[in-house]
Amino acid sequence: MLSSAILFDLDGTLTDPKLGITRCIQYALSELGYKPPNADELHWCIGPPLKGSFSQLLNTLDDTVIEQAISLYRHRFATIGLFENSLYPQIPEILKAIRFAGYKTFLATSKPYIYATQIIEYFGLSLLLDGVYGIELYGTRSIKSDLIQHILLTEKLLASTVVMVGDNFVKLLYETLRER
């Protein structure tokens, strides 16, 4: 059976969020009294939930410290960091072509919904997506498979007809196109 819907990740797939995410992590670490790594050393933090990244960066499992770091991160991200990213080239045209071909398109991101919707609106992509889905600020559906299951149920989609496009797929596609 052919695909009827395509789920897109946000960070690393539709947008390059490196500047905003790394600056917010650096800010949080500095505010907690740590010397933050440079942006290139924080690339691995883009994508996964913040809790795990801060746990590793701070070398702690202490939820109080981790939540304090997340709160500092979000303080900066909510006003500055979410706009410190860029749309990858041709994304609007690609989404238009996919929709014109008859597919439904959804955003499925590990970023909190409240931020994901603002970013999508900022880049003018709202009309090119049938729905925007992200995690809740305090972790509900923070595991990507739970989020995808939620989308399938909410949108009444069959798993066998849905494709998820994330940054690993996009990296492979760009590498393939560069080789030509």
Q: Kindly list the catalytic residues.
A: 9
Look up residue 86 and give its two tokens: 């860029």
Q: Sign of dihedral through CA atoms 6, 94, 174, 45? A: negative
Q: How many residues are given for the chain?
A: 180
End-to-end CA distance of the chain: 30
Q: What distance lies between CA 93 and its chain's CA centroid?
A: 20
